[in-house]
């Protein structure tokens, strides 16, 4: 069967089962093409809360599907590949954060959305890469503990020096692996290109950027820019999608190694099989239905609601 034939079957099944497909922009082109909603983690969490579909099928990583479930508990939410987790989301321990809160109760705990629902229960407000700066500025407190990504946290801290922002040692292994040497090499190879980078990269790398932003931020910047060449400092899919959308411009991944293995676990057959599972009401071997206790949803959702209240 060709990719196109499989996509046609998916579109048909999607309608039959009243399912909305949400795909993070790090997914492969063939998945993005059959999705109802695509974008960064903030946009997808809002899209999930607005869709009228009965079922949500998430092509991304576990914490994203969990966020969708928390925002739409009445819907059935499925992750297309059950093994797709985000290593950063699992990095911090709920007990450690609870202890830190007890020691310093005046400090507001700001959690990157790349955290488990369980960890969110001991945090005050969530942020995404597109909203972190805005939300930290908007908080009516100066004492903040920012978890888990110390690179995103450092980037925010640098721009809000008036606030006392504490960081812990966590982060994205994919983005943190990008080196200054790789950036310099890419700049030498493409001297006319602008360097657009995700704030999950280390400070020495973001300092070399012409623009720092979320996946959607990077894509919007490149689409609107009059510039013709861009070095992309985030997952290689973003350079691929942009190249497809803007064939008159040139996009170069900063290094070919900037691939999120977890995001890339989901395949088009996974999407098809997950929809067959929804149709037949059987657990598909590769997908996962997100089941969460009401109490966990109620406790963890507070910091997501706070993020939305503060304007995402």
Cα angle 16, 17, 22 (rounded to 5 degrees) comes to 115
29-37, 42-50, 74-82, 260-268 -> range binding ligand SF4 (CB under 6 A) = 260-268
Peptide bond connecting 148 to the previous residue in cis, omega within 30 degrees of 0: yes
Q: Nearer to ligand SF4 by C-beta: 114 or 216?
A: 114
DSSP type of residue 192: T
39 contact partners, CB below 8 Å, separation of at least 6:
24, 25, 47, 215, 216
Q: How far is 254 from 235, CA to CA, in rounded Å? A: 9
Q: Nearer to ligand 13P by C-beta: 128 or 255?
A: 128
- Rule CB under 6 A: is residue 174 a binding residue for ligand SF4? yes
- Rule CB under 6 A: is residue 202 a binding residue for ligand SF4? no
Q: Binding residues for ligand 13P, how many (CB under 6 A)?
A: 12
- Rule CB under 6 A: is residue 260 a binding residue for ligand SF4? yes
Q: How far is 173 from 114, CA to CA, in rounded Å? A: 13
At residue 289, φ and ψ (nearest 5 deg) are: -85, 135
- Rule CB under 6 A: is residue 151 a binding residue for ligand 13P? no
83-91, 185-193, 268-276, 283-291 -> range binding ligand SF4 (CB under 6 A) = 83-91
- Rule CB under 6 A: is residue 47 a binding residue for ligand 13P? no
Would you call 162 helix, strand, or coil by DSSP? coil
Q: Are the CB atoms for 31 and 59 separated by under 8 Å?
A: yes
- Rule CB under 6 A: is residue 152 a binding residue for ligand SF4? no
Q: Nearer to ligand 13P by C-beta: 17 or 255?
A: 255
- Rule CB under 6 A: is residue 312 a binding residue for ligand SF4? no
| Residue of the chain from 41, 81, 116, 267 that contacts ligand 13P (CB under 6 A) | 41
- Rule CB under 6 A: is residue 214 a binding residue for ligand 13P? yes
81 burial level (CB within 10 Å; 0-12, 13-18, 19+) = buried
Q: How far is 55 from 296, CA to CA, in rounded Å? A: 20
87 contact, one of ligand SF4, ligand 13P, none, CB 5-8 Å limit per kind: ligand SF4
Q: Nearer to ligand SF4 by C-beta: 61 or 92?
A: 61
Q: How far is 143 from 108, CA to CA, in rounded Å? A: 6
Size (the chain), residues: 312
Summarize as ranges the residues that interact with ligand 13P (CB under 6 A): 40-42, 86, 114, 128-130, 172, 200, 214-215
Query: Which residues contact ligand SF4 by CB under 6 A?
Result: 61, 86-88, 114, 172, 174-175, 200, 235, 260, 262-263
């Amino acid at each position: 069967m060709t990719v196109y034939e499989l996509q046609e079957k998916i579109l048909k099944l999607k309608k039959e089962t009243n399912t909305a497909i949400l795909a993070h922009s790090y997914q492969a082109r063939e998945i993005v093409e059959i999705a109802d909603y695509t974008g960064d983690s903030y946009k997808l969490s809002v899209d999930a809360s607005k869709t009228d579909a009965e079922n949500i099928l998430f092509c991304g990583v576990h914490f994203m599907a969990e966020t969708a479930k928390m925002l739409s508990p009445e819907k059935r939410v499925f992750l297309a590949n059950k093994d797709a987790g985000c290593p950063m989301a699992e990095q911090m321990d709920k007990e450690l954060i609870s202890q830190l809160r007890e020691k310093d109760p005046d400090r507001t705990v700001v959690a990157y959305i790349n955290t488990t629902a369980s960890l969110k229960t001991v945090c005050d407000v969530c942020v995404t890469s597109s909203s972190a700066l805005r939300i930290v500025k908007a908080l009516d407190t100066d004492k903040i503990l920012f978890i888990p990504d110390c690179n995103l946290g450092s980037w925010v801290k640098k721009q809000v020096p008036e606030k006392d922002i504490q960081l812990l040692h966590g982060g994205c292994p994919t983005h943190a692996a990008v080196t200054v040497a790789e950036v310099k090499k890419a700049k030498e190879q493409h001297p006319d290109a602008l360097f657009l980078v995700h704030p999950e990269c280390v400070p020495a790398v973001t300092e070399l950027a012409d623009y720092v932003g979320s996946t959607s931020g990077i894509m919007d910047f490149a689409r609107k820019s009059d510039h013709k060449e861009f070095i992309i400092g985030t997952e290689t899919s973003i350079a691929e999608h942009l190249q497809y959308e803007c064939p008159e411009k040139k996009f170069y991944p900063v290094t070919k190694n900037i691939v999120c293995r977890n995001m890339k676990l989901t395949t088009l057959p996974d999407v098809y099989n997950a929809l067959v599972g929804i149709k037949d009401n059987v657990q598909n071997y590769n997908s996962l239905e997100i089941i969460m206790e009401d109490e966990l949803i109620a406790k963890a959702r507070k910091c997501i609601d706070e993020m939305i209240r503060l304007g995402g």
